């Protein structure tokens, strides 16, 4: 009877996780989705304590409460701008957990009820070795992604001579180690599997450039799920299998969707270590070109006398936490009869949904926040496009420069608006490391400064009109 109750609770938890994913697909239902996920996790953890053979209750409770305290502290302290690297950090921990559980199952299978040390079934050996390999790749790959997002490593692709050949040799060595471990059960081969996978995780991520990091973070999320599912098969835990498969499949689907939005090949993004470096973008000599610089008063006048305004938020808005003052500006413009909407690029910021979360935090109406494919055609009939730090996703080089690293990526076509107000700290290049030629267009006006301060000045100027 006890086993049936545990399995039923696991099924209930799995259902909660599925509905949680469904809820997270929309900002309107995201809060309820999170609550369902919490309920599912609490149910799974609670019923696990009643599993037969489960012991050391006190130490496990202490570990859970300690980790929960650390997690709560990090969640309260971390700024939204650092959310992508936090996610990458979490992925690394999931990968590491998969490796450690695989080691535990290998050295003490009796504790998990899967066999006797040195006499494991071949299916268990396959499952734990694959789970450990994927987990190790996820661990080091996520650490490199974290370092790039945190600017501890350069965001540009890092390549060295013969890198693709070394990567291919390591993959072949990994498959060989997997094969010999499965047929022999020798622990030495398991150590070798983990070691090779750790190195591969590094080599797979360092060649990925900053423009493609959102896809990498999503794909690492998928890897962590498959690692968990593999260990779930080893332990015979249905909930771990279902949860891992959900995370793995959803992460893979999101990665494909993002690659489609960026006109990228997911093979080239994820397996860039096996290909030669792409040709470098040819620098354009803009020394003799001038940008037009404006100020808050002129920007307020243009905005207040417009019929239609589209705001394009980017990482600059996230860094300065300008979403709340932007909400105040939007309220003032709408009071003057201006139609204000927001245009969101699928990879704006550092991860999918980054801008949507920030705008939702400021209680901006969901109906005013439109995706690229829904609003791109409206720029040509828009009076003012206000770009707030969204550099790469508005760069016409994606359409005009075949040598550009972002060439082929669909962009928000703000250059078609009658007037562009571009808020930026300086003329520095974006995360992809290339200059935005939009700065030099005749209809573009630059507003230099911190996004929050610039918008505050615009709000003040609007109140004086």
What one-character DSSP code corresponds to residue 383? Answer: S
392 is catalytic: yes
What is the distance between the alpha carbons of residues 249 and 340, in angstroms, rounded to a whole number? 37
pLDDT score recorded for residue 282 = 47
Closest of 224, 256, 244, 214 to residue 90, by C-alpha: 224
Dist. CA 143–CA 90, nearest whole Å? 10
Whole-angstrom CA distances from 147 to 72, 78, 85, 162, 202 are: 22, 16, 8, 23, 11
Helix, coil or strand: residue 282: coil
Reduced to 3 states (helix: H, G, I; strand: E, B; else coil), residue 126 is helix
Position 281 scores a pLDDT of 46
Taking CA atoms, 403 is separated from 159, 278, 301, 394, in Å, by 18, 9, 39, 17
CA 15 to chain CA centroid, nearest Å: 24
* pLDDT value at residue 404: 78
Instruction: Tell me the sheet residues that pair with 447.
Output: 423
Residues 259 and 81: their CA atoms lie apart, in Å, by 22
Dihedral angle, C-alpha 76, 79, 82, 85, nearest 10 °: 10
How many other CB atoms are found less than 10 A from the CB of residue 233?
Answer: 19
- Measured CA to CA in angstroms, residue 35 lies from 21, 39, 176 at distances of 11, 6, 44
- What is the block-wise mean pLDDT of the chain (465 residues), using blocks of 10 residues? 80 92 81 92 86 78 91 83 82 91 89 80 90 93 88 79 86 95 92 96 84 78 88 84 89 80 68 57 56 92 94 89 93 94 83 79 87 91 93 86 79 93 84 80 93 94 88
Please identify which of the residues 392, 442, 457, 464 carries the catalytic annotation: 392
CA atoms within 13 A on the CB side of 54: 16
CA pair distance 390, 340, nearest whole angstrom: 17
Long-range pairs for 375-378: beta carbons < 8 A, 24 or more residues apart: 375/310, 375/341, 375/343, 375/412, 376/343, 376/410, 376/412, 376/413, 378/308, 378/310, 378/341
Q: Alpha-carbon torsion 273, 274, 277, 279, what sign? A: negative
Please answer whether residues 462 and 329 qualify as being in contact, where contact means their C-beta atoms are separated by less than 8 angstroms. yes
Token duo for residue 248: 């793995």
* Fold type of domain 296-464: Rossmann fold (3.40.50)
């Amino acid at each position: 009877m006890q086993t049936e109750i545990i399995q039923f609770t696991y099924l209930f938890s799995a259902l909660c996780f599925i509905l949680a994913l469904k809820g997270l697909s929309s900002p309107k239902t995201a809060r309820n989705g999170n609550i369902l996920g919490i309920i599912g996790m609490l149910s799974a953890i609670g019923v696990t304590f009643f599993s037969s053979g489960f012991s050391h209750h006190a130490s496990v409770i202490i570990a859970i409460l300690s980790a929960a305290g650390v997690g709560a502290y990090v969640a309260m302290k971390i700024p939204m701008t650092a959310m992508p690297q936090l996610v990458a950090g979490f992925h690394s921990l999931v990968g590491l957990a998969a490796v450690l559980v695989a080691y535990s199952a290998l050295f003490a299978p009796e504790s998990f009820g899967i066999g006797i040390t040195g006499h494991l079934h071949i299916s268990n050996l396959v499952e734990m070795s694959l789970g450990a390999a994927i987990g190790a790749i996820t661990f080091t790959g996520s650490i490199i992604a974290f370092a790039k997002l945190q600017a501890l490593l350069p965001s540009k692709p890092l390549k060295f001579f013969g890198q693709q050949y070394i990567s291919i040799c390591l993959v072949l060595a990994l498959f060989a180690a997997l094969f010999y471990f499965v047929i022999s059960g020798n622990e030495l081969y398991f150590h070798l599997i983990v070691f090779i996978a750790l190195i591969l995780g590094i080599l797979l991520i360092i060649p990925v450039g900053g423009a493609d990091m959102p896809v990498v973070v999503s794909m690492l999320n998928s890897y962590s799920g498959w690692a968990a599912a593999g260990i779930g098969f080893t332990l015979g835990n249905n909930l771990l299998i279902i949860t891992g498969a959900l995370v793995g499949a959803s992460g893979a689907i999101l990665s494909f969707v993002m690659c489609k939005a960026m006109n990228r090949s997911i093979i080239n993004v994820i397996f860039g270590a096996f290909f030669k470096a792409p040709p470098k973008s040819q620098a354009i000599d803009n020394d003799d070109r001038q940008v037009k610089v404006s100020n808050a008063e002129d920007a307020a006048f243009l905005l207040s006398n417009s019929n239609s305004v589209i705001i394009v938020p980017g990482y600059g808005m996230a860094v300065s936490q300008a979403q709340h003052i932007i909400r105040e500006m939007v309220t003032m413009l709408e009071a003057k009869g201006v139609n204000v909407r927001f245009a969101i690029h699928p990879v704006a910021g550092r991860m999918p949904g980054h801008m949507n979360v920030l705008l939702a935090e400021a209680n901006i109406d969901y109906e005013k926040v439109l995706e690229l494919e829904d609003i791109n055609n409206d720029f040509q009939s828009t009076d003012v496009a206000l770009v707030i730090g969204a550099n790469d996703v508005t760069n016409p080089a994606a359409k005009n420069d075949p040598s550009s690293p972002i060439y082929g990526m669909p962009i928000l076509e703000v250059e078609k608006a009658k007037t562009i107000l571009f808020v930026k700290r300086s003329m520095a290049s974006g995360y992809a490391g290339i200059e935005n030629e939009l700065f030099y267009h005749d209809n573009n006006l630059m507003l230099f400064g911190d996004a929050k301060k610039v918008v505050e000045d615009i709000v003040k100027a609007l109140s004086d009109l």
